[in-house]
Amino acid sequence: MDRYEHVVVVGAGLAGVSAVGSLREQGYGGQITLVGAEERLPYARPPLSKAALLDTPRSADELLRPESFYRDRDVTLRLGTAATALRPREGVVELGNGNRLRADAVLLCTGGSPRSINVPGADLGGVCTLRTAEDAARIRDHLERGGPVVVVGGGFIGTEVAAAASARGCPTTVVEAGALPMLGALGADVATRLAEAHRERGVTVRTGVGVRAFTGDGRVRNVVLTDGSTLQAELVVVGVGMAPEVRLAVDAGLTVGDGVQVDALGRTSNPSVWAAGDVAAVSTGDEHRRFEHWQNAKERGSALARAVLGGTAPPAFVPWFWSDQYDLNIQVAGEPAPHDARCWRGDVEALSFSVLHHRDGVLTGITAVNSGKDVRPAIELIRRGTALDIDALADASTTVKALLKAAR
């Protein structure tokens, strides 16, 4: 007998879709409704800042699942309809179209929205953010027309957009307030090399400077920087991070900090509401951490379903994400601390290398550029947390795969 008759999943992104798939995989036989504010079938976001901006975008193959996936699993789709209120005590989810769904358990997978910057001219035409397929189509149309592009924010989405814009022949500038693009995620050495790689490919990288204003005549024409200089722009893409979509949770009285706070199982402060993906801030014991990556939404979305059905905590989660820029595949896994020791493998100059971060011989992270083969064995080593032979770790001729084999 199922514990819940009707599970309502709010948010039809990767976390929500992973949750509904996993509910059925685990044998849940009750009713499932997936509520999504966007009209289209759930799709993958990573291509939006990559292939979708290039000359030959793929389209239908970027769906997370074909329509038959939902039909075969008897999942009711309510797309193009936002949930407007959760009433956990009454067991109800209210929808924007006036409907009310009875819900014994609610899985909150509402992701987030791009942050904007609060400067004069931020509402001019041609100043965009990127989160949805519609945003990507708009940016792609601008790139097709050509003209100078300014990307504000040198995070992963910003640098991917810059790579696509310059690959399409648009004069492109990245404006990053910090010392280097991608500095926080990659550390100074790797971020320096990647900033060089952007410059080598024709992108202007401006660091240590912010935006004072956008100016134009209804459409953006110029970006005025905080050092007083001005950049011409026909398109501005603001990539300064995202804010978790917590409004429903706040209104329902759930505990919310930087995201909806959940325990390791995905339970919120209300026993019938659960959360996963970009919106959820997961307890690590002494703090709550939010992750904005594909793997997190996928794994934790699936784990949520198991937990709702009474399962135990998922296996240790190793944060992992990737980025594609030009011909460069960048992958970062684990959570190394800045003072961890590092061993390098490969050729930094040739942009084919990995950095192993370790503490007392235990692998804490990997940063890999065009060295994808090192990543999976490294993730396994990080997950296990066993101490490695320090000499083998320091010996660049010992592959990560060999380190894993030796650790078995």
With contacts defined by CB under 6 A, name the span among 168-176, 179-187, 288-296, 354-362 that binds ligand FAD.
288-296
Binding residues for ligand FAD, rule CB under 6 A, total: 37
* 165 binds ligand FAD, rule: CB under 6 A: no
Nearer Cβ to ligand FAD (38/104): 38
Site for ligand FAD in 173-192 (CB under 6 A): none
Residue 260 interacting with ligand FAD (CB under 6 A) = no
Three-state SS string across 277-324, please?
HHHEEEECCCCEEECCCHHHHHHHHHHHHHHHCCCCCCCCCCCEEEEE
Q: Can you tell me the distance from the alpha carbon of 291 to that of 310, in angstroms, rounded to the nearest whole number? A: 24
According to DSSP, the β-strands at 288-290 and 280-283 are antiparallel
CA distance 105 to 9: 8
Q: Is 241 helix (H, G, I), strand (E, B) or coil?
A: coil
Please say which residue, 141 or 360, places its beta carbon nearer to ligand FAD. Answer: 141
Q: Is 334 in the site for ligand FAD (CB under 6 A)?
A: no
Q: How far is the CB of 111 from ligand FAD (least distance, A)?
A: 2
CA distances from 360 to 129, 259, 342, 391, 396 (A): 42, 33, 11, 12, 18
According to CB under 6 A, which one of 7, 8, 9, 10 is a site residue for ligand FAD?
10
Do residues 364 and 336 lie in contact, with contact meaning Cβ atoms separated by under 8 Å? yes
Does residue 293 bind ligand FAD (CB under 6 A)? Answer: yes
Q: Is 35 in the site for ligand FAD (CB under 6 A)?
A: yes
The DSSP call for residue 334 is: E
Of 122, 204, 317, 321, which lies in the binding site for ligand FAD, with binding defined by CB under 6 A?
321
Q: Minimum CB separation from ligand FAD for residue 272, in Å?
A: 17
131 in contact with ligand FAD (CB under 6 A): yes
Contact 311, 301 (CB under 8 A): no
**Which is nearest to 277 in space by CA: 14, 60, 22?**
14
Q: Which residues of 261-270 are buried (b: 16+ CB within 10 A; e: fewer)?
A: bbebbbbbeb
Q: Is 158 in the site for ligand FAD (CB under 6 A)?
A: no
Contact between 38 and ligand FAD (CB under 6 A)? yes
In the complex, which residues of this chain contact ligand FAD (CB under 6 A)?
Answer: 10-16, 35-38, 45-46, 48-49, 82-83, 109-112, 130-131, 157, 245, 248, 277-279, 292-295, 297, 321-323
